[in-house]
Structure 1
Amino acid sequence: MLVLTRKKGETIQIGDDIEITISSINSDQVKIGINAPKNVEIYRKEVLETIQEENQQASHISNELFSLISKQMKKEK
């Protein structure tokens, strides 16, 4: 992990297309601004983990539903 020290208003450049700017610092909270292309998805990690868990659950339910439909179709033949 690369750890950088930045002050308010300073920026970090990632590749050619992504800039992270320190907007404000208040006690234990840092606000950052991210400038990136529209095709780059940006999530807070806890939100991304929730999305991934929900997608996994939805996928599991879809597989169960497909299995039930398949069994029903075999019975009808």
Structure 2
Amino acid sequence: MLVLSRKETQRIRVGDSVVVTIVKVSGDKVRVGIEAPSDMLVLRDELEPWATADAAAPPLLTTDVAVNVA
């Protein structure tokens, strides 16, 4: 595992098509923005079990999930 330290507004590039931006740091929480191709599934780790439990079940959307429109 690669572990990096970043400050607000700094970015991390993953491959040619994914950019992770540190949007805000507040106490013990970090708000992260992820730019990825629309055909790439980006999912919080706690939502992953739906894929193994029932492949037909849609992922859950919450208010902190934004759709990539790029």
Class of the TM-score when normalised by the shorter of the 2 chains: 0.7 to 0.9
The 2-side partners of 1:48 and 1:29 are apart by 21
Structure number with larger C-alpha Rg: 1
Q: 4+ residue runs of structure 1 moved beyond 2 angstroms?
A: none
The Cα shift of 1:53 comes to 4.6
The 1-side partners of 2:47 and 2:16 are apart by 26
Query: Deviation string for 1:49-72 (max 9, x for gaps)?
Result: 2x135317x9xxxxxxxxxxxxxx
Gaps of 5+ in 2: 58-70
TM-score, normalised by the number of residues in structure 1: 0.67
- Structure-1 residue corresponding to 2:37: 37
TM-score, normalised by the number of residues in structure 2: 0.73
Kindly tell me the number of residue pairs found equivalent between the two proteins.
56
Gaps of 5+ in 1: 59-77
Q: Please report the RMSD computed on the Cα atoms of aligned residues, expressed in angstroms.
A: 1.7
- Structure-1 residue corresponding to 2:26: 26
Report percent identity of matched pairs: 36
Structure with the greater relative contact order (CA < 8 A, sep ≥ 6): 1 or 2? 2
Superposition pairs of residues 1-77 of structure 1, within 5 angstroms: 1-49=1-49, 51-55=50-54
2:53 aligns to what SS in structure 1? helix
The 2-side partners of 1:47 and 1:24 are apart by 22
